[in-house]
Amino acid sequence: MVAWKNLDTLESYKALQDTKGNVNLTEAMAGQNGADRVKKYAIPMAEGLSYHYAAKKVDDDILEKLASLAKEAQLSEKFQELYNGAVINLTENRRVLHQLTRGQLGGKVMADGVDKREFYKKEQEKIAAFAKKVHAGEITNEKGEKFHTVVQIGIGGSDLGPRAIYLALENWAIANDTLKMQARFISNVDPDDPVGVLGGVDLAHALFIVVSKSGTTLETLTNEAFVKNALADAGLDASKHMLAVTSETSPMAHNSGYLAAFFMDDYIGGRYSTSSAVGNAILALAFGPDIFARFLEGMAAEDKLAAEEDPLKNPEMLDALISVYERNILGYPVTALLPYSQALSRFPAHLQQASMESNGKSVNRFGEPMNYSTGEVLFGEPGTNGQHSFYQLLHQGTDIVPLQFIGFRKSQNEKDVAVEGSTSQMKLCANVAAQMIAFACGKDDENPAKRFSGDRPSSIIIGEQLTPESCGALLAHYENKFMFQGFLWNVNSFDQEGVQLGKVLAKRVLAHDTDGALKAFAELLGI
Ligand code: F6P
C-alpha cells in the first residue's frame, strides 16, 4: 500500500539533516581521491549515456541515507502506481500516462473504454502514414506540389518540447541525410512572432500544425487566425494547409477546417507531451517516422531504468534524490542546466517548464501547506556560451547554484577545424571538464578578487553523440527526475493551477472589466 507523506515526516529525511557539511568538494575532488570518486560515482544510462555525480556533495554515508529515503518515500511503488494507470493527478482527477506513448512498463491501462497503449500506438501509425504520404508527394498543395516546410503553432508544452527536440536533431538529420522538411515554430501571441516566422516561409509549400491539447489556448487560437489570414491573403485554402493535434474532446477535434487531425488526451500533461502526437506530428514530418520511432525507443529504454528500485542503478531517481538533498538540506534554490552541445540550445527552456510547472507548488498533493521548500528555479544555456555570460556569478557569487552539465564525445557532423593544436570538439569537451573541477576545487589567491572558493557541486551526463536514441533517453531522464522530485516533495507534479490567475485577469483587461492598479497598468500599456 502506497502512503503519500510529506518529506519532513520521514525518518530517513530527518537522518539526512546531520550530514550537512560532511563533504567538502575542494578536498573530496582533489588528487587521487577525486579520480577515484569519478570512477566510483557513475551510473550507466540507456543509449550509451552515463550519469556522473562525483562532483556532488555526497559520500557513501549520504548515498546510503538517500537510498533509505527512496525506500521510505516509496518512490518505486509510486512510479509503479503511475505507470499502471492510477489517478495520480488528484486535483484534476486524471491518470498520468505519458510513459505509455513509448512503451508498456506495467499492465494494460484501460481508460475511456480503450486500451491506452493501443490508442497512442494507433495515433503514431496514423501520423506515420500521413507523413509518408507527404514525403512521397501523395499529399500535396492545391497545385499538386510537395510541401517542404512544416510550422507548429502552439505554446508551452505544445511548443517547447517539440521545438527543443527538433533543434536537437536538425543537424544530425542533415548529416545523416534524413531531413525531410524544415520545421519552424510560432508560439508567442506577440504579432512579431508570426510575422517573423512567416516572413521566412514559402506559404504555398508549407503545412501548419495547430497544437493545443485543450483547444482553447488564446495565444494559439490567435496565431492560428493570424496564419489563416496570411494564407487567405496569398490566395491559399487554409483547410488544405492546416493540421490539428488536440484531444478528442476539444473544440478543435473533428473540425473540417483541417486537412487531418491527430489526438492525445487529458492523461498527458502539456509539458510531458513531446512523445505524444504533440511532438510526433512535427518530428515525423521533419525527420521521418522512423527517426521519431528511434527517439521513442530511447525514451522507453530510459523509462525502464527509472523503474529500477535501487537508486544507485536508477539515474533518474538518484538525480532527484541528490537535487532534493541540495534543495532541502543544503538550501540551494536554483539549478543551472548547462548542455555542452549547441543542438541542445532550447533544451533548458523546455526543462524549465517541465520542472517549474510540475514542482513549483506550495501545498502538498492533498492541498495542505508544507513546512519545506519545493521546486527548483531552473535556467541554462549551452556551453561554452554560458561561460562568457553568467558563469562569473556561478564561480564567485554569494549563492551556490548546483550545476547539471551534459556533454558528448562526438559532435553531430564530421566537419571541424584544428586551431592551436585542438579541434573545436576537443575544446568544447576540455571546457566542460575544466569547469567541473574549477567549480569543485576552486583556487586560492592572495588577491580576494581572484579567489575561487570552490565546493560548488555539479553532475554531468555524458554520451557518445546526440542521436535520436540518446536524445530520447536524455528527455526521459529529466521527465522521470521531475516526477521523483514531486514524489519526494509530496506535491502533485501534474497540475498547473498557478498559470490560471494571470489568464483570467488578462481576459478582464481585454473585456475592459478592470479597476484600480490593473486598470492603471492596462492604460499605461495602451489598452
Ligand atoms: O498555461 C499553461 C498551459 O496549460 C501548459 O501547461 C500547456 O503546456 C500550455 O498551457 C498549452 O496548453 P494547450 O496545449 O492546451 O494549448
Cell of 497: 493551477
Ligand 1 pocket check for 213: Cβ under 6 Å: yes
What is the set of active-site residues?
A: 357, 388, 503
Ligand 1 pocket check for 156: Cβ under 6 Å: yes
Asked if omega into 384 is within 30° of 0 (cis), the reply is yes
Q: Which residue's C-alpha cell is 509518408?
A: 132
| d(CA 49, ligand 1 centre) in Å | 31
| d(CA 90, ligand 1 centre) in Å | 18
CA dihedral 80, 473, 308, 99 (to 10 degrees): 10
pLDDT value of position 1: 87
| d(CA 298, ligand 1 centre) in Å | 25
Ligand 1 pocket check for 279: Cβ under 6 Å: no
* Angle at CA of residue 336, ends 280 and 57, nearest 5°: 120
* Angle at CA of residue 199, ends 196 and 205, nearest 5°: 130
pLDDT value of position 382: 97
Q: Which residue's C-alpha cell is 519526494?
A: 488
Cell of 255: 473540425
- pTM score, whole prediction: 0.98
Domains, the chain, with CATH or none: 24-71+329-359+368-411+418-468 (3.40.50.10490), 108-293 (3.40.50.10490), 496-527 (no CATH)
Query: Could you list the mean pLDDT of each consecutive 10-residue stretch along the chain, which spans 527 residues?
Result: 96 96 97 98 98 98 98 98 97 97 97 97 98 98 97 98 98 98 98 98 98 96 98 97 96 93 97 98 98 98 98 98 98 98 98 98 97 98 96 98 98 95 97 98 97 98 98 98 98 97 96 97 97
What is the β-pairing status of strands 149-153 and 182-186? Answer: parallel
> Order of strands across the sheet with 377-379?
42-44, 50-52, 458-463, 403-408, 334-340, 377-379
Q: Which residues contact 141 (CB under 8 A, 6 or more apart)?
A: 147, 204, 205, 236, 240, 241
* 97-100 LR contacts (CB < 8 Å, sep 24+): 97/265, 97/267, 97/268, 98/267, 98/268, 98/269, 98/272, 98/273, 98/275, 98/276, 98/479, 99/303
pLDDT value of position 442: 98
Q: How many other C-beta atoms lie within 10 A of the C-beta of residue 362? A: 11
- Give the residue, out of 91, 98, 153, 158, with the most ligand 1 atoms within 8 A of its beta carbon, to mutate for a pocket test: 158
Alpha-helical (H) ranges within 47-115 are 60-72, 75-83
Ligand 1 pocket check for 276: Cβ under 6 Å: no
| d(CA 518, ligand 1 centre) in Å | 24
